[in-house]
Amino acid sequence: MARRRTAHDSLEPALTPRWYVVRSMHGTVIESRELPPGVDLKREFLLAMLRWIEAGWTLGEFSSGTATFFCDRHADRRMVSFDPTDPHDVPMYGGAHLGGCSNCGE
């Protein structure tokens, strides 16, 4: 019998902050704001989709599992996500933190 992984729900309330992030289809962060810990992420996700629809965007594919949706208006396409990390933080994977400060050169 194969073991099944437990399903992860990205929209469950969390004790840590989450970020509402809007990106272009090239990955550029257009907008971001921190959401407080414990916020009802399912409600925020649905409200965000409604706001985009009301602003004239067409809702495309979405996933509550990854807390992401896509929307289009004319030639523009946006990816909206609820991320567990600040999109402006420099990722520190592996030994990246050993390379020194990218801002001050130390």
Domain segments of the chain as ranges: 9-63
pLDDT at position 10:
85
For 69, residues 6+ apart whose C-beta sits below 8 A from its C-beta are 45, 48, 49, 52, 59, 60, 61, 62, 63, 79, 80, 81
- In angstroms, rounded to a whole number, what is the distance separating the alpha carbons of residues 9 and 15? 14
Placement of tokens 């990246």 in the chain: 96
pLDDT at position 73:
96
Q: Six-digit token pair at 82?
A: 């609820």
What are the pLDDT tens digits along the chain (106 aa)?
566 665 667 888 888 999 999 999 999 999 999 999 999 999 999 999 999 999 999 999 999 889 999 999 999 999 999 999 999 886 666 655 566 555 555 5
pLDDT at position 79:
97
pLDDT at position 64:
86
Residue type, 26: H
pTM exceeding 0.85? no
